Amino acid sequence: MKRNYPSPSTFTRTQSAALFETAKTYFPGGVHSPVRAFKSVQGPPVFFEQGQGCHMLDVDGQTYVDFCCSWGPLILGHCHPAVLEKVQETVAKGMSFGTPTPHDNRIGELLLKNHRYIEMVRFVSSGTEAVMSALRLARGVTGRSKVLKFEGCYHGHVDSLLVQAGSGLVTFGISSSAGIPESFANETIVVPLNDPAALAEAMQTWGADIACIIVEPIPANNGLLLQDRSFLELLRKTADEYGALLIFDEVISGFRVGFEGAAGLYDIQPDIITFGKIIGGGMPVGAYAGSKKIMENVAPVGPVYQAGTLSANPVAMAAGYATLLELLKPGFYEALESKTAWLCDTLQAHCDANGYEASFPHVGSIFWPTFTRKAQHRSDEIDGAKMSIFKTMHLACLERGVYFGPSGYEVGFVSAAHTREDLEFAATQICAALDLAFRG
Ligand SMILES: *Cc1c(COP(=O)(O)O)cnc(C)c1O
């Protein structure tokens, strides 16, 4: 792929803008997932047509270093040769049979032999579907109806989880989308992250009806709100005390902060783990997993129904298998983490030297540019007014060939394909963008 970075004087979105105008006549807002519409940043969305390694090529012929990585799945970068080869070989033999295939067992074995926190897994086709199924399983196992979630954790667009905290410390959830019956939202209890007192109060009030506590153990969909291990431990203890299940939603953290994800990082055993993103290597895949005892409640063995026409289709399984295989190579995560730390340290040093109020919290290869130096553990600690700084930085990065997801609440990802040279280039451009954002 040719490399043609834009500069502020050459940057253009002519073709992207034209495609977007047409798209808006075909699709609501021109997109198939709201954040893609660039509503929180400037200009029309950039349309891309090719990716190679850590680079993406847009329809105006410009290249960018990609830190969005399709929102996380592309931990190996775009078009990794091993993944491409496996997918091409598989697709030529048929895209879906609606039957079991040997691919199922290959990825199943790889997954379960290398992840000590799960014994059985069911594949689905998205992270949302994985979470939705995990909730049904938790309700089926416990015979209870309510779910406790945390404000600032995203679990996909499942009805009962598109819910935010009402006013007051501990309340029923109120829906954050039209189209969700109040009765559904009432099944969800929302409490702040990192707040043992609120958790205790909610459990004292509703504990006997709570089927599960669900958390992003590494909350990374509303900034990066890192939690203390002790808080996650408390969730484990509290769930046990009340006979509820603990679900780790690892759709984003799974295989990202280590092969065993956050469960492995913090060494905490959840009852159910949900996966998505990386597990499909760029194809639409989700999964939920747990002990054999819990998973055997799922149909056809148990009474909890869950099915899927394209579940575990061979092409998606092949992409996932080839991706996971790479992650198991010795030193994979160490290399990725040290590159990420280098990038964040370099950006931090630039901000410190210039007195910019910014920091770059990171874990594994997830990082978040945020415009405060204070540690943030709860969603209400994020200052929404600072998002204007991100907005300026985002455009300035685009104009210099660096692509971030188009929202200051989204994290960035470093992939195995980002070389030191790519990161040096990107760091220089991001520093220039920060200069503009802070000094104008
Ligand atoms: C992305 C994400 C989801 C939703 O996954 P989709 O594949 O977009 O449906 C759910 N939970 C978490 C933690 C996620 O990061």
Q: Clarify whether 249 is annotated catalytic.
A: yes
Of 86, 277, 333, 409, which is the active-site residue? 277
pLDDT tens track for 261-305: 999 999 999 999 999 999 999 999 999 999 999 999 999 999 999
Tell me the pLDDT band of 175, cut-offs 50, 70 and 90. confident
Which protein residue has the closest C-alpha to ligand 1 atom 7?
A: 127
Once rounded to an integer, what is the mean pLDDT over residues 321-343? 98
Once rounded to an integer, what is the mean pLDDT over residues 32-42? 95
pLDDT(390) > 60: yes
**pLDDT score recorded for residue 168:** 56
Which protein residue has the closest C-alpha to ligand 1 atom 15?
A: 252
Judgement on whether residues 239 and 170 belong to the same structural domain of the protein: yes
Tell me which H or E stretch contains 148: strand 146-150
- How remote is the CA of residue 111 from the centroid of ligand 1, in Å? 19
In short, whether 133's Cβ falls inside 6 Å of ligand 1 is no
Q: Clarify whether 293 is annotated catalytic.
A: no
Say whether 50 sits in a helix, a strand or coil: strand
Judgement on whether residues 123 and 254 belong to the same structural domain of the protein: yes
Judgement on whether residues 213 and 105 belong to the same structural domain of the protein: yes
Of 58, 60, 195, 249, which is the active-site residue? 249
Tell me the pLDDT band of 311, cut-offs 50, 70 and 90. very high
pLDDT(165) > 80: no
- How remote is the CA of residue 405 from the centroid of ligand 1, in Å? 15
**pLDDT score recorded for residue 426:** 98
Instruction: For a ligand 1 pocket test, name from 162, 277, 311 the mutation site with the most ligand atoms within 8 angstroms of its C-beta.
Output: 277
Once rounded to an integer, what is the mean pLDDT over residues 323-327? 98
Q: Please indicate, yes or no, if residue 8 is contained in any of the structural domains.
A: no
In short, whether 156's Cβ falls inside 6 Å of ligand 1 is yes
- How remote is the CA of residue 128 from the centroid of ligand 1, in Å? 6
Once rounded to an integer, what is the mean pLDDT over residues 98-108? 97
pLDDT tens track for 196-254: 999 999 999 999 999 999 999 999 999 999 999 999 999 999 999 999 999 999 999 99
pLDDT(336) > 80: yes
Residue type, 231: F
- The DSSP output letter for 180 is -
- How remote is the CA of residue 432 from the centroid of ligand 1, in Å? 32
Judgement on whether residues 249 and 394 belong to the same structural domain of the protein: no
Tell me which H or E stretch contains 327: helix 314-327
Indicate the residue among 327, 348, 383 that finishes a domain: 327
Structure token pair of residue 353: 């030297």
* CA-angle at 248, arms to 247 and 250, nearest 5°: 140
- Ligand 1 atom with the shortest distance to the CA of 153: 13
**pLDDT exceeding 70 applies to what percent of the chain?**
98
Which protein residue has the closest C-alpha to ligand 1 atom 13?
A: 251
For the chain, what is the domain count?
2
Cα end-to-end span (Å), the chain: 34
In short, whether 405's Cβ falls inside 6 Å of ligand 1 is no
Instruction: For a ligand 1 pocket test, name from 68, 155, 275 the mutation site with the most ligand atoms within 8 angstroms of its C-beta.
Output: 155
Angle between helix 229-242 and 196-206 (nearest 10): 10
Judgement on whether residues 398 and 306 belong to the same structural domain of the protein: no
**pLDDT score recorded for residue 170:** 54
**pLDDT exceeding 90 applies to what percent of the chain?**
94
Judgement on whether residues 268 and 350 belong to the same structural domain of the protein: no
Say whether 367 sits in a helix, a strand or coil: strand
Judgement on whether residues 337 and 314 belong to the same structural domain of the protein: no
pLDDT(26) > 60: yes
In short, whether 252's Cβ falls inside 6 Å of ligand 1 is yes
Of 64, 117, 146, 154, which is the active-site residue? 154
CATH no. for residue 25? 3.90.1150.10
DSSP string, 207-263: GGGEEEEEE-SS--SSS--PPPHHHHHHHHHHHHHHT-EEEEE-TTTTTTSSTTHHH
**pLDDT score recorded for residue 163:** 87
- How remote is the CA of residue 15 from the centroid of ligand 1, in Å? 30
Structure token pair of residue 375: 């540690």
**pLDDT score recorded for residue 167:** 58
Q: Please indicate, yes or no, if residue 75 is contained in any of the structural domains.
A: no
Judgement on whether residues 363 and 310 belong to the same structural domain of the protein: no
Which protein residue has the closest C-alpha to ligand 1 atom 3?
A: 156
CATH no. for residue 160? 3.40.640.10
In short, whether 127's Cβ falls inside 6 Å of ligand 1 is yes
Q: Clarify whether 154 is annotated catalytic.
A: yes
DSSP string, 62-79: -EEEESSGGGTT-TT-BT
**pLDDT score recorded for residue 173:** 74
pLDDT(176) > 90: no
pLDDT(428) > 60: yes
Q: Which domain holds residue 221?
A: 81-327
pLDDT(171) > 70: no
Residue 82: other Cβ atoms inside 10 A: 14
Judgement on whether residues 159 and 199 belong to the same structural domain of the protein: yes
pLDDT(166) > 90: no
Structure token pair of residue 425: 């280039």
Indicate the residue among 327, 358, 382 that finishes a domain: 327
